[in-house]
């Protein structure tokens, strides 16, 4: 059974990815900032028998080293770098703390987590890295911090695709559009309606829409797909 780490999986898209992959017979390590991830992991384990939860703040390199010290590095087949936050505000009013928190959580986490497992993946001569970016990577009003981090995720993804391909490791980004989760539930209804109007499929995406894309990239049969941006946005990127 192949083991996959999913960060930010206590709720939202990460939770759906973990569940979707567990249902499809992967062993899952659910990672989240919130301590209740241990309970979430246990509950999921009762259902699927192949899940555990680990508490970790992925914005901190030291915390990642510590949290993953008990994980058998060579067991890890895949990483889904999903944990992310937003602190939306016009740049002129953005504080250093709002900039720093988003860059550390959404971009540094890519380094902090992937670095723990990349050498064992190289030794295994196989692996899958899937990083969650966002439609906002291309720039978005009120999201200078978030857009910068999510554009960085794409640079990171493509660079790893070039560097690690020769070891049988693929690195791809999934780029969600507008997905119903606690992150987007916090948005005012008027803004949500405007977004939906711009989506050709005229609906907000579900976390499972994203999970399906991640699972596709994890497959053995996807071994020749490397360095892509897989957009999950109902056509909003057209
Ligand atoms: P949610 O806010 O619903 O869930 C994010 C999860 O990440 C939470 O469980 C949160 O834990 C966890 N998390 C936050 N910070 C850390 C940290 N430092 N260490 C470990 N875990 C952490 O977000 P979504 O599910 O909506 O988003 C998931 C990913 O998808 C993010 O990267 C987001 O940027 C991206 N995305 C989402 C879109 C959407 O429309 N929803 C669109 C495009 C991209 P806690 O609850 O404890 O804070």
> Which pLDDT does position 183 carry in this prediction?
85
Whose Cα sits closest to atom 8 in ligand 1? 8
Note whether residue 198 is domain-resident.
Answer: no
State the distance from the centre of ligand 1 to the C-alpha of 12, rounded, in angstroms. 7
Residue 237: pLDDT over 90: no
Note whether residue 184 is domain-resident.
Answer: no
State the distance from the centre of ligand 1 to the C-alpha of 123, rounded, in angstroms. 31
Note if 167 is an active site residue. no
φ/ψ of residue 185, rounded to 5: -60, -25
Residue 236: pLDDT over 90: yes
User: DSSP string covering 120-176, please?
Assistant: HHHHHT-EEEEEE--GGGG--TT-HHHHHHHHHHHHHHHHHHHHHGGGTEEEEEEEE
Note whether residue 110 is domain-resident.
Answer: yes
**Would you give the DSSP letter of residue 107?**
I
Q: Which residues line ligand 1 (CB under 6 A)?
A: 7-8, 10-14, 32-34, 57-59, 82-85, 105, 132, 134, 176, 178-179, 181-184
Other beta carbons within 10 angstroms of residue 144's beta carbon come to: 19
State the distance from the centre of ligand 1 to the C-alpha of 82, rounded, in angstroms. 7
Q: What is the mean predicted confidence (pLDDT) over 88-98? A: 98
Total count of domains within the chain: 1
Residue range 57-91, pLDDT digits in tens: 999 999 999 999 999 999 999 999 999 999 999 99
Note whether residue 18 is domain-resident.
Answer: yes
CATH of the domain at 122: 3.40.50.720
Q: Which of 20, 108, 146, 224 is the catalytic position?
A: 146
Split at pLDDT 50, 70, 90, the class of 233 is very high
Sorted by sequence, the CB contacts under 8 Å of residue 39 that are 6+ apart come out as 53
Residue range 4-49, pLDDT digits in tens: 999 999 999 999 999 999 999 999 999 999 999 999 999 999 999 9
Domain that holds residue 154: 3-179+205-232
Whose Cα sits closest to atom 7 in ligand 1? 8
Residue range 145-198, pLDDT digits in tens: 999 999 999 999 999 999 999 999 999 999 999 999 988 898 899 989 998 999
Cα 64 from Cα 17, distance rounded (Å): 20
State the distance from the centre of ligand 1 to the C-alpha of 166, rounded, in angstroms. 31
Residue 216: pLDDT over 90: yes
> Which pLDDT does position 186 carry in this prediction?
87
State the distance from the centre of ligand 1 to the C-alpha of 70, rounded, in angstroms. 24
Note whether residue 185 is domain-resident.
Answer: no
* Among 167, 67, 62, residue whose Cα is nearest residue 119: 167
Query: Which ligand 1 atom sits closest to the C-alpha of 204?
Result: 40
Query: Which ligand 1 atom sits closest to the C-alpha of 150?
Result: 34
Note whether residue 187 is domain-resident.
Answer: no
Note whether residue 29 is domain-resident.
Answer: yes
Note whether residue 107 is domain-resident.
Answer: yes
Query: Which ligand 1 atom sits closest to the C-alpha of 57?
Result: 19
């Amino acid at each position: 059974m192949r083991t996959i780490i999913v960060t930010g999986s206590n709720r939202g898209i990460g939770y759906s990815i973990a569940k979707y992959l567990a249902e499809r017979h992967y062993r899952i390590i659910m990672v989240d900032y919130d301590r209740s991830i241990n309970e979430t992991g246990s509950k999921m384990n009762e259902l699927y028998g192949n899940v555990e939860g680990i508490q970790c703040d992925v914005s901190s390199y030291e915390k990642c080293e510590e949290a993953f010290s008990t994980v058998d590095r060579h067991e890890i087949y895949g990483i889904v770098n999903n944990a992310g936050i937003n602190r939306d505000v016009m740049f002129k009013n953005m504080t250093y703390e709002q900039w720093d928190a988003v860059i550390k959580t959404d971009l540094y986490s890519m380094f902090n987590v992937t670095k723990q497992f990349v050498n064992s993946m190289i030794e295994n001569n196989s692996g899958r890295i899937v990083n969650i970016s966002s439609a906002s990577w291309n720039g978005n009003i009120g999201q200078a911090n978030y857009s910068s981090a999510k554009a960085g995720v794409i640079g990171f993804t493509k660079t790893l695709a070039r560097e690690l391909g020769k070891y049988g490791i693929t690195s791809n980004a999934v780029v969600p559009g507008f997905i119903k989760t606690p992150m987007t539930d916090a948005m005012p209804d008027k803004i949500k309606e405007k977004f939906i109007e711009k989506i050709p499929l005229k609906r907000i995406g579900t976390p499972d829409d994203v999970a399906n894309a991640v699972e596709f990239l994890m497959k053995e049969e996807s071994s020749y797909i490397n360095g892509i941006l897989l957009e999950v946005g109902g056509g909003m990127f057209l």
